[in-house]
Amino acid sequence: MQQLDIRSFDSTPIHCYLWDDVENPKGVVQISHGMCEYAGRYHETAQMFNEHGYIVFADDHRAHGNTETDENRGRHPGDIEKKTVKDLVFFYNWLKDRYHLPQVLMGHSYGSFLAQDFLQQGTDVKAVALCGTADMDGAQAALALLWPLELFAKDWCPKFVNPVSDMIFDARYKGEKGPSQWVTSDVARRQVFIDDPMAGIDISVNFDWNMIKAFGRIYKKENIAKISPDVRIGIFSGDMDPIGGTKSSKAKKLLRRYQKAGLNAEIHIYKDARHELHNEKCRDEYFRDLVGFFDSAVKAAEPAKA
């Protein structure tokens, strides 16, 4: 794995990870990580893709990981959602110029919402995997509550949000102890998440404001219509993931939205699995499904043989 800092579209240095020690690669997987974490947590996932013939690239999104200093982690000026999607497109084109191979995108949680927006940006991506995802249309109603804070305290990173979210998300898991139960049912891996100082960070009011604002944009019919009918969309959800809704109801809603628009979308649901499928007990099955999903899209993109 290489770590490098690359200046993005607006010259902001973004900390990146590249796993490209692959003999005869067949494609490139770009990973978009979740909120309050960083791309370095996907090393095992990247190695798995390497073993199946894929070069892998990921970046620590703005406000996250090594892209920000310890003091600024969790906050970034301006519309962070739009900027981060522009970063994804910038790096997509950087990878395209570098490798000249079919490209796919995997987005987890917050990264999956960025990926939903990325789908509307006119790239020639072959497939997008939306993991730990949901249809968040309607969430923009919360903007009315956030507006005073965005106006007067947008850089504030309230420390009560994560504990309260944990309490709400963990309520469905009876008889378990400790925080962040919703992240994974694998207790050892959950503890690694808890102990990681760059995971579970506090985020700013402005961060939430701009992400929620994006939900009011990306589900509009005219923006869904921007998604290419040629791209394959895979939705991957644990049926005990609170982000995906009860029995993956919000993930299924997203599937219906895409299928109604005539898009090539499918869903994979994992029984008893929680939010981070790549850290769940069913991760081997999940990895097989991800590779199979990307393989079929990359194979379909190969030029027909004479």
The Cα 196–Cα 24 span in angstroms is 35
What DSSP line would sit under 185-242, residue for residue? S-HHHHHHHHH-TTSS----HHHHHHHHHHHHHHTSHHHHTTS-TTSEEEEEEETT-G
pLDDT: which is higher, 177 or 290? 290
Residue 107 CA from chain centroid, whole number: 3
Q: Is the pTM of this model over 0.85?
A: yes
The Cα 179–Cα 176 span in angstroms is 9
283 pLDDT higher than 60: yes
One-letter amino acid of 126: K
In a domain, 25, yes or no: yes
In a domain, 230, yes or no: yes
Give percent helix, percent strand, percent coil of the chain, each to the nearest 5: 45, 15, 40
Domain carrying residue 107: 2-301
**H helices, E strands: number in the chain:** 10, 8
pLDDT > 90: percent of the chain? 79
39 pLDDT higher than 60: yes
* Total domains in the fold of the chain: 1
CATH code assigned at 286: 3.40.50.1820
Residue 157 CA from chain centroid, whole number: 21
In a domain, 306, yes or no: no
184 pLDDT higher than 70: yes
In a domain, 112, yes or no: yes
pLDDT digits (tens, 9 = 90+) for 240-260: 999 999 999 999 999 999 999
The alpha-helical segments, DSSP class H, found in the chain are 43-51, 80-99, 110-118, 143-152, 161-170, 187-195, 205-218, 221-224, 249-260, 283-301
